[in-house]
Structure 1
């Protein structure tokens, strides 16, 4: 049987972003996902440049997986040089970069190249394995035992990348490997728009469906969107020697790389990929939140110390907020109680008319009123109209007003008339 590797690529802008900074390519033997960074004007350019350059390796024929591995590594280095050249021509793109996860099938092997936090997964016999390792700050913390994988999912520095392609490093460190692959294997490459919002159990379940690769890729995109994924989402699903007719597959490009890469900017020239010369440029040092130098251990320690300081500040702020809320509640209770003690009403106490200070209510077992004046006026001696008023209580604005009400009721009992 002729060996086939059938792949499907899908990309979506996500629920928040206005442009797609992801790019993907699924060819006859090459499959690659790039997730750009650098803001609205840079991330899409970076991923498109990288994917378009790496896609050139799909047309070659490799005599060994080692040749394919070397070709991939060389293509990523060339893409890095292209990005540096682009920043040289368009300084407003300074600091742009991109992750790349790519693989080429050669016979029963898969050559892999990877940098950043996009991921490659393999589903074999129902078991899902993450093939690549994220080049992120939190992954380094996990590897060093400083935090757990569960803590990494919500860590405030989870977006900090340790390695990317871009104008930052002339010689980026790229992970490469060669793995065996067999009939029935299902591979997946995705940007972090999927892996950050859909857990691996759900990914395994969807990949385990026996539907075609295109349907599975669509389903994974929908899963990410249903989880509210704000980021761009790109997924490539690859089946090794699938059953079915041996129909030729056309290369598919998705995301920003699928459109024309032309732009004008003040002080810059129109970008034409064929005219860009591949030569090393002076490395540009860029300070930004999304990337740190991989070997700067002092900087990592400073980041860890800063995270600890932030955690302490957050705890202190919460304690202050809780203290203010508690103090406000106590002060409100004191002021509220003081207000109730300025209120009076006439009611019944042990069958006689009495003057109460406070309001006719209670807080739990504690009443908010108390008798401040007893009388010897029996309530049942009052006419029915007045009895009903006293039993329902008669509000008084002041203590003097309450005394006047008592005097009036006493007169009603004594003379049978109201003064």
Structure 2
């Protein structure tokens, strides 16, 4: 029978966010990641409430059927507690959280998943993404409207279609039972990792001959090295014969700190959470699926309009830039034609209009007057000056220079 060899949970606020809205849990049998949303209005509260409630499912089970039913019920209960908290505190409206949970039971794991946090499995040096993102762009990919590569850079790639929150009393939760065996390495993460580190980079780090804690630390570091624009939370679970006594359950992220908000103490709710009447931060935009069936078409058309506007703006600025370059060239060329210099042409002293330099194949000067004065008749010093050219500010000045050269011969 496969057992949990080692596990680790690591959470980091990232390099941009001011607070950590992620929560993670690594217990005896249960492991989960929750990524809260709602900004300062309560994303950290939502993920903490969900993590603490779902962690109650970290007990022994007789079968995967019982484990799956209890785990799903825990997510539904967490959803209810979040909704009740919002009902008591309107300033938290819109808060929600993703949850990706894995419960180990003998040679099987039970998985419950909602949102865009992810579950990966490394087996025999092959990495697979087990969970499916509940995002707008994943819907478009599944419908064949865009490719997976386009989804990576889509402006709405972060819009969630399913989460735990105050929207649905019974949200649709992905539930599955999979086999596991010695040597498997499971990894749960928030999109702070999967949205920054590439699949190949995650594979390389997870394939390393290192312990669960080292791997989790390296995955978080990969996100930080990539800029970490979001909170990042990673839970790593190694399946195999334990090499040391099991570590006590570990909670990381916002669920590990005292909460400013939460449901009032009741038998079905977390205890020890004090409610405060006000938090001085704006409620952030929510990202849930509207009831309208035309949502996809409306968003796609909006994106198409945005792309057309971007193309028009780019075209406008490109034309403006080209116009500025042409105007600068014309004005510069006109200025060069107000300049003159004295030089040599066919062995004689000559007056040239323009400047001596060329601009690629374009000459910035032309012969204006070729005199009858042979350069060879000039004094050695004057010959060198003519060969190196003598600048003049105007045609009259150039003629005076020629006159002085001619007078020097006599």
TM-score (norm 2): 0.91
Q: CA deviation at 1:412?
A: 1.7
Partner of 1:267: none
Distance 1:387 1:405, change over 3 A: same
Q: CA deviation at 1:68?
A: 1.4
Q: CA deviation at 1:302?
A: 0.6
Q: CA deviation at 1:210?
A: 3.3
Contact 1:207 1:216 (8 Å CA) reproduced = yes
| CA distance in 1 between partners of 2:156 and 2:26 (Å) | 32
| CA distance in 2 between partners of 1:95 and 1:243 (Å) | 42
Partner of 1:43: 43
The answer as to 2:253 corresponding to 1:262 is no
The answer as to 2:205 corresponding to 1:196 is no
Q: CA deviation at 1:11?
A: 0.8
Which moved further from structure 2: 197-206 or 344-353?
197-206
Distance 1:405 1:31, change over 3 A: same
Distance 1:70 1:198, change over 3 A: same
Q: CA deviation at 1:204?
A: 2.1
Partner of 2:366: 370
| CA distance in 1 between partners of 2:71 and 2:190 (Å) | 18
Which deviations, in whole Å up to 9, do the C-alpha atoms of 1:309-363 show, x marking residues without a partner?
Answer: 1112212221221111111111111111111111111111111111111011111
| CA distance in 1 between partners of 2:353 and 2:73 (Å) | 89
| CA distance in 1 between partners of 2:90 and 2:100 (Å) | 26
Partner of 1:274: 265
| CA distance in 1 between partners of 2:313 and 2:263 (Å) | 52
Partner of 1:334: 330
Partner of 1:139: 138
Structure 2 residues without counterparts, runs of 5 or longer: 270-282
What does residue range 6-405 of structure 1 map to in structure 2 within 5 Å? 6-58=6-58, 60-245=59-244, 247-262=245-260, 271=262, 274-275=265-266, 291-293=287-289, 296-405=292-401
Q: CA deviation at 1:27?
A: 0.5
Q: CA deviation at 1:290?
A: 5.5
| CA distance in 2 between partners of 1:165 and 1:105 (Å) | 22
Contact 2:183 2:240 (8 Å CA) reproduced = yes
Distance 1:324 1:2, change over 3 A: closer
Which deviations, in whole Å up to 9, do the C-alpha atoms of 1:23-64 show, x marking residues without a partner?
Answer: 000100111100111113422111111111111111x33221
| CA distance in 2 between partners of 1:62 and 1:295 (Å) | 38
Contact 2:2 2:181 (8 Å CA) reproduced = no
Which moved further from structure 2: 24-33 or 303-312?
303-312
Q: CA deviation at 1:9?
A: 0.5
Q: CA deviation at 1:251?
A: 0.2
| CA distance in 1 between partners of 2:178 and 2:139 (Å) | 24
Q: Which secondary structure state, in structure 1, belongs to the residue aligned with residue 316 of structure 2?
A: helix
Q: CA deviation at 1:136?
A: 0.5
| CA distance in 1 between partners of 2:62 and 2:339 (Å) | 97
Distance 1:256 1:273, change over 3 A: farther
| CA distance in 1 between partners of 2:125 and 2:268 (Å) | 46
| CA distance in 2 between partners of 1:313 and 1:289 (Å) | 24
Q: Which secondary structure state, in structure 2, belongs to the residue aligned with residue 40 of structure 1?
A: helix
Distance 1:4 1:354, change over 3 A: closer
| CA distance in 1 between partners of 2:61 and 2:307 (Å) | 52
Structure 1 residues without counterparts, runs of 5 or longer: 264-270, 279-286, 415-419
RMSD, matched Cα: 2.0
TM-score (norm 1): 0.90
Q: CA deviation at 1:76?
A: 1.3
Which deviations, in whole Å up to 9, do the C-alpha atoms of 1:107-144 show, x marking residues without a partner?
Answer: 22211111100001111222211111000011111111
Q: Which secondary structure state, in structure 2, belongs to the residue aligned with residue 163 of structure 1?
A: coil
Q: CA deviation at 1:150?
A: 1.2
Which moved further from structure 2: 104-113 or 87-96?
87-96
Q: CA deviation at 1:297?
A: 3.0
Contact 1:6 1:28 (8 Å CA) reproduced = no
Which moved further from structure 2: 374-383 or 80-89?
80-89
Contact 1:184 1:242 (8 Å CA) reproduced = no
Contact 2:2 2:107 (8 Å CA) reproduced = no
